[in-house]
Amino acid sequence: MMILKTSEQIEQMKAAGAILAACHRKIAKLIRPGITTWEIDQFVEEYLAEHGATPEQKGYHGYPYATCASVNDVICHGFPRKEPLLEGDIVTIDMVVNLNGWLADSAWSYAVGTVSPEAKRLLEVTEKSLYLGIEQAVAGNRIGDISHAIQSYAQQHGYSVVREFTGHGIGQSIHEEPYVPHFGPPGRGPLLKEGMVITIEPMLNIGTYHATIDEDGWTARTRDGKLSAQYEHTIAITADGPLILTKQ
């Protein structure tokens, strides 16, 4: 079922999104060689508590942490670890913030120190693909218009788009309808309407789009071990166009 939100509810989600965005800005300053994703996860727990919010991912279908921390070939849902990040790594930090029962979801990929030109370009193209998807998030378009904008840009730059994980509706629960694939033909899928709130969260890979899941049941990696990056915003569809609720 698709749950349309009132402008008051969207304001509540925007308040959650503002905390999330500010938290990402802090993380950007913390990321450097030597820090662990465990420490970042601890930081996020404290930051959210100080701001009257809670980490919605913790306990979601048994997921054990506040954040997902996905390093290099990990596509998504990596566990925070006590192993230090190394110069040249890329790491995606993903979290869902709950403020007074309303949610916002945003993932961001970060470079650790200086990264290779290949990694840097992957980050740039993935971030740009998110914004091209967001441009299509207007009432009257269809989900497929978002999907197509992302996939065509990614493929023009030689990258593949992950298929196993999609964006989604969000509100008082993390995953609602509609689902938002980051690949597929334009003009298809559910019609976008004012009051819909969705995530757009493209994961782009240097090699194959195929994923494998680790023994922990969560960590999704590229099958060929090549790099993967992800950027995600929570977007409201409004009369004035797409409104980014997690804008940094």
Where along the sequence are the contacts to ligand MF3 (CB under 6 A)? 57, 60-61, 63, 68, 77, 94, 96, 105, 168, 174, 199, 201, 232
Binding partner of residue 41 among ligand MF3, Co ion, none, CB cut-off 5 to 8 Å per kind? none
Q: How far is the CB of 140 from ligand MF3 (least distance, A)?
A: 25
Q: Residue 115 or residue 166: which is nearer to ligand MF3 going by CB? A: 166
Residue 178, preceding peptide bond in cis (omega within 30° of 0) = yes
Angle between helix 37-50 and 7-30 (nearest 10): 140
Cα separation of 44 and 46, whole Å?
A: 5
Binding partner of residue 77 among Co ion, ligand MF3, none, CB cut-off 5 to 8 Å per kind? ligand MF3
Binding partner of residue 57 among ligand MF3, Co ion, none, CB cut-off 5 to 8 Å per kind? ligand MF3
What φ, ψ does residue 225 adopt, rounded to 5°?
75, 5
Q: Is the dihedral of CA 67, 138, 209, 33 positive or negative?
A: negative
Q: Residue 151 or residue 199: which is nearer to ligand MF3 going by CB? A: 199
Q: Residue 73 or residue 105: which is nearer to Co ion going by CB? A: 105
- Among the listed ranges 41-49, 106-114, 123-131, 240-248, the one in contact with Co ion (CB under 5 A) is 106-114
* Cα 37–Cα 157–Cα 188 angle in degrees, nearest 5: 95
Q: How far is the CB of 245 from ligand MF3 (least distance, A)?
A: 14
Tell whether residue 94 is a contact of Co ion (CB under 5 A): yes
Q: How far is the CB of 105 from ligand MF3 (least distance, A)?
A: 5
Q: How far is the CB of 146 from ligand MF3 (least distance, A)?
A: 15
Amino acid present at 66: A
By C-alpha distance, which of 164, 197, 196 is closest to 182?
164
Helix (H), strand (E) at residue 173 = none
Q: Residue 115 or residue 204: which is nearer to ligand MF3 going by CB? A: 204
Q: How far is the CB of 219 from ligand MF3 (least distance, A)?
A: 11
Cα separation of 179 and 183, whole Å?
A: 12
Cα separation of 140 and 214, whole Å?
A: 40
Q: Residue 149 or residue 203: which is nearer to Co ion going by CB? A: 203
Tell whether residue 105 is a contact of Co ion (CB under 5 A): yes
Q: How far is the CB of 232 from Co ion (least distance, A)?
A: 5
Do 232 and 199 touch, CB atoms closer than 8 A?
A: yes
When binding is defined by CB under 5 A, the residue of 107, 192, 236, 243 that contacts Co ion is 107
Torsion angle (degrees, nearest 10) of CA 127, 162, 95, 111: -50
Do 209 and 76 touch, CB atoms closer than 8 A?
A: no
Name the residues that contact Co ion, by CB under 5 A. 94, 105, 107, 232
